[in-house]
Amino acid sequence: MAETSQFCTFYLDKLLFGVELCGVQEVIRSLEMTKVPLAPGVVSGLINLRGQIVTAVDLRRRLELAPAPAGTHAMNVVVRSEDGAVSLLVDEIGDVVEVEQSSFEAPPETLRGSVRSVILGVHKLKDRLMHVLDIEKACQMTEV
């Protein structure tokens, strides 16, 4: 039997991304956020998650994508990193998908700069590519 992994998927700018399900604490809708003065550009603010203060990282900024259209509300994928819980702000939540290890490939050559260091590789799905995020690098508060 082929070895499989499960991923929590989400969308940013119509691109499909995934993080290993075992690293996900929870997925929640948009929450009120408190801005943090002088925080790095990738930090959107802090959210109160049932009494736990969680840093929210803007994945669009981290991946050098265009800002979200005005009036849209980001969703939260709360992951567990070495520094504790971190919320990754995404456009839309996808499904949990199970993929075989044989569908995994290195990051495409078209990825450049700091984005390449955050993407572990891609899984070829039936109709699209799923970019696999490195949770630790995606959660770094400084520019990569």
**HEC secondary structure over 111-130:** CCHHHHHHEEEEEECCCCEE
pLDDT score for 59: 94
Tens digit of each residue's pLDDT, the chain (144 residues): 569 999 999 999 999 999 999 999 999 998 899 999 999 999 999 999 999 999 999 999 999 899 988 888 899 999 999 889 999 999 999 999 999 999 999 988 887 777 888 999 999 998 899 999 999 999 987 764
pLDDT score for 1: 55
Query: Model pTM greater than 0.85?
Result: yes
- State the Cα–Cα distance between residues 90 and 144, nearest whole angstrom: 19
pLDDT score for 140: 86
Distant-in-sequence, close-in-space partners of 60: CB < 8 Å, separation ≥ 6: 12, 13, 66, 67, 68, 89, 91
- State the Cα–Cα distance between residues 2 and 86, nearest whole angstrom: 32
pLDDT score for 71: 85
Which domains, from first to last, does the chain contain?
Answer: 4-138 (2.40.50.180)
